[in-house]
Structures are given as structure tokens and as C-alpha cells.
Amino acid sequence: MFHRCRCSYYLIFFFLFLTLPACSPSKEKKTKTKTMPPALVVTTVARQQDVPIELKTFGTIEASESVTIKPMVSGELTTVGFREGQDVQKGDLLFKIDPRPYQAALNKAQASLNRNRVIMKNARKDYERYAPLAKDGIVSQEQADGYRTRAETAAADLAADQAAVENGQAQLSYCTITAPISGRLGALTVDQGNVVKANDSSLVTINKLTPIRATFTIPEKSLSQVKERLAAGEMTVEVKVPGADGAAEKGLVSFFDNTVDQATGTIRLKGQFANEKKLLWPGQFVTLSLTLEVQPQVVVIPSQAIQTGQNSQFVFVVTADSLAEVRAVTPGPAYGDITVIDKGLQGGEQVVIDGQMRVIPGSKVEIKTTAKPETGDMADKKGKTKTADATSSPKTAAPEVVPGR
């Protein structure tokens, strides 16, 4: 009897052992499914704005005017009237060359002029006196002609002396060198006390920085677009300075070359900028953007919101019920962190920009933070797109067409 009860106990325990593993995972899985929290995501609102289409390229800055100062006369450099690198105004004193030799030459020419003026005056009086006598037969015609010749020779000598005086005055004026333009002085190449030679020694260079120019090239395939834009009126060009925290300055295209460089397949242009803050400097390598047209009120979102699937690109749109909806989109041109959406989104819809890896399509999501859409100037500064493949020479890196921010 005891043995039979003991066997029944073992059989009940064995059946319970077999049924427990089959029930536990199912309950555990069911519990986990019911308690799975919504995915935490960061969203932003798809916005609509005007997007200017731009042609991007590279170029170098050059002074709007540049003058290299050279002496016009030889002599000792007695005065340097500036500090290297300072700004000067037109007419400011730069250099003085020892004027004494040129002053002496001018004095000599002036004395010769005065002497020949007296000689000419007397020769004319003699001719005026002998000319009537020759008509009356009192003196011969040969004598009268001789006095006329002496008067004309004296007049020629006087003219030569007058030219020598003017040349002496010019040579003396070259001893004082003033700034021919307003601008920024470069490095002094000859120190005070040295002897300089006429048209040989380069003393200093003046660059005019306000306004300033940028020279750049565009590919031949963009020529028709740029010509059409210039035909419609003034064309805006924006320049960015590398390493200046996004500092940019806007100007206008001031020069369009009349021929295409056959070696590089590019054409040269120049833009002029006010440069009031003097951010731009001659020789600087910069990025430029030419505004070609403006796309009105297109939908733009941060590029990080776009995901790539097997068949197409998509974004997660958060519905009014806080559900994650998969939306296939057709991205347009992109630049930086902004992309234009040609198809698939409407302005004002909320898209996920962070946390996509945790999102299950059709499931609930919890918005951790919402990125504020930029408006006004901030939106303009951040919304440029559109790249064009273009090739050029190594110095003229490939320009690209992008919508402006």
C-alpha cells in the first residue's frame, strides 16, 4: 500500500515537471509584449521655404587696385613716412629721395632760360630795327636776314631751356613719393639710407581692400545658365572664408570673360565685395556661390531624417496618435544637413530625426524632444541644396550647383 502511494506521488511530480517548461516561456513572452515601452525619438517639423539654387565654385581674392611703388629718380632714400602694414590715404607721404642734385639741375636750367630769354629779346629788337632799313635800301637784305635768323635761333634756345626747366621740375617732384591710391601698405623692401635706382628698386606695394574682388571660374556647361541670369540683371555672388566660423559676404558679379579656356573648359568671372569688415584678404582661397534661381516654397527636412530601404528611401512620420508611419519619399537636391523633398511629405508633418533604430513601423513612439524648425534668416542660412557634377582644373576644383540657404 505504501509502495503504491509512493509511485503515484512520483508520477504526479513527473507530469508537473513536464508541463511547467511549456507554460513558462509563453507567459514570459506575453508579459514582455504587453509591457514594451514606446520608442523614444527626436522629431522636427517639415517646413516650406524658398530655396535659391546656387552654383558653387572656388576662387581667390585679389585687391580691387594694386600699385607697386618704384622710384622715378635715383638717389639716397632719406625719408620713409609710414609703418609697414598700415592703411594710407591717397596723397599721404611715403618716401623722400635726396632732392639736392635735382634742385641744382633745375636751378641751372632756370638760369639758362633767363639768359636765353634776354638774348632772344635783343635779337628780335635788332631784326625789327633792320627789317625796315632793308626795305629802304639802307642796309642789305642779307644783313636783315641774319638778324632774323639770330632772333629765331634765340627763340628755339629759349624753348629748349623751358623744356629743361619743366623736366627739372618733374625730376625734383619725383623726389617726394606720395600714395597714388588709398589702401593697405605691404612690406618695406628698401630701408631708409639706401641708394635707389630709377625704375629698378621696388619699394612697397599698396593694395586697395575696400572694395575687393574675387576671381573664379565656372564650367563651360554652366555658361548658358549664368548668361541668362546676367541678362536678367545683376547677379549675386556670396563668398565664404575658410576657418572664419561661416563668415560670408555678399557681392555682385563685376566681370564676365569673353572666352572659354580650352585647356580647362572653364570661363573666368570676378565678383566685387564691399569688404567693410576686411574679412577678405588678397591671395585668400575662398568658396563662392552664384545665385541662379529661387525654388519657391519647397519642403525641406534635415538630411538625417532620411533612411534607405531595399526599394526606396523613406522617413518615419509621427501621426496625431503618436504612431510611427513609414513614408516613402523622393529626395531632391541636398547640401550640408538639409534636403529638399520633391515627393512624399507635406509641410508641417512631424518626422523622426533621431532614434529611428528603435522605431517599429506602426508602433507607438514617445517624443523625447522636438527640434524647432528655423524660420526667417536662420532657415535661409541652413537650407541650401543641389549638387552638379562638374570637372575643372586642379586649381579650380569642381563647382557644384546648390540651393542656397
Domain ranges of the chain: 45-62+208-403, 71-97+178-202, 100-173
| Chain position carrying cell 513614408 | 327
Question: What length is written for the chain?
Answer: 405
**What CA–CA distance (Å, rounded) separates 129 from 144?**
9
pLDDT of residue 130: 75
DSSP state string for 332-351:
EEEETTEEEEEES--TT-EE
**What CA–CA distance (Å, rounded) separates 405 from 166?**
62
Q: Answer for the pair 300, 46: CB distance below 8 angstroms, yes or no.
A: yes
The single-letter code of the amino acid at 212 is I
Please choose, from the candidates 317, 389, 325, 400, the residue with its C-alpha nearest in 3D space to the C-alpha of residue 353.
317
**What CA–CA distance (Å, rounded) separates 177 from 97?**
8
Q: Answer for the pair 267, 217: CB distance below 8 angstroms, yes or no.
A: yes
**What CA–CA distance (Å, rounded) separates 328 from 343?**
9
pLDDT of residue 68: 96
Distances (CA, A) of 177 to 164, 208, 235, 376: 21, 18, 40, 52
**How many Cα atoms occupy the beta-carbon half-sphere of 260 within 13 Å?**
12
Cell numbers found for residue 23: 507554460
Q: Which fold has domain 100-173?
A: Helix Hairpins (1.10.287)
pLDDT of residue 8: 52
Q: Answer for the pair 92, 178: CB distance below 8 angstroms, yes or no.
A: yes
**What CA–CA distance (Å, rounded) separates 384 from 337?**
9
**What CA–CA distance (Å, rounded) separates 325 from 234?**
46
Cell numbers found for residue 279: 574679412
Distances (CA, A) of 267 to 38, 164, 221, 264, 324: 57, 51, 10, 9, 50
pLDDT per residue of the chain (405 residues) written in tens, 0 to 9: 444 545 455 545 555 554 444 444 444 444 444 557 888 999 999 998 888 778 889 999 999 999 999 999 999 999 999 999 999 999 999 999 999 999 999 999 999 999 989 988 888 887 778 778 777 777 777 877 787 888 888 899 999 999 999 999 999 999 999 999 999 999 999 999 999 999 988 999 999 999 999 999 999 988 888 988 888 888 989 998 777 676 789 999 999 999 999 999 999 999 999 999 888 999 999 999 988 877 788 899 999 999 998 888 999 999 988 899 999 999 987 766 788 898 999 889 999 999 888 888 888 888 887 776 554 443 444 444 343 333 333 333 434 444 443
β-pairing, 75-80 with 87-88? Answer: unpaired
Exposure string of 344-360, with b = 16+ CB inside 10 Å and e = fewer, is: bbebebbbbbbbbeebe
Per-residue 3-state assignment (H helix, E strand, C coil) for 25-40: HHHHHHHHHHHCCCEE
**What CA–CA distance (Å, rounded) separates 152 from 257?**
56
Q: Which fold has domain 71-97+178-202?
A: OB fold (Dihydrolipoamide Acetyltransferase, E2P) (2.40.50)
Exposure string of 220-249, with b = 16+ CB inside 10 Å and e = fewer, is: bebeebbeebeeeeebbbbbebeeeeeebb
The single-letter code of the amino acid at 193 is G
**What CA–CA distance (Å, rounded) separates 399 from 389?**
7
Our measurement of the distance from residue 108's CA atom to the centroid of its chain's CA atoms, rounded to an integer in Å, reads 55
| H-helix or E-strand spanning residue 68 | strand 47-69
Cell numbers found for residue 378: 536662420
pLDDT of residue 400: 47
Q: Which fold has domain 45-62+208-403?
A: Elongation Factor Tu (Ef-tu); domain 3 (2.40.30)
Q: Is 324 helix (H, G, I), strand (E, B) or coil?
A: strand
DSSP 84: T
Q: What are phi and psi of 243, to 5 degrees?
A: 75, 10
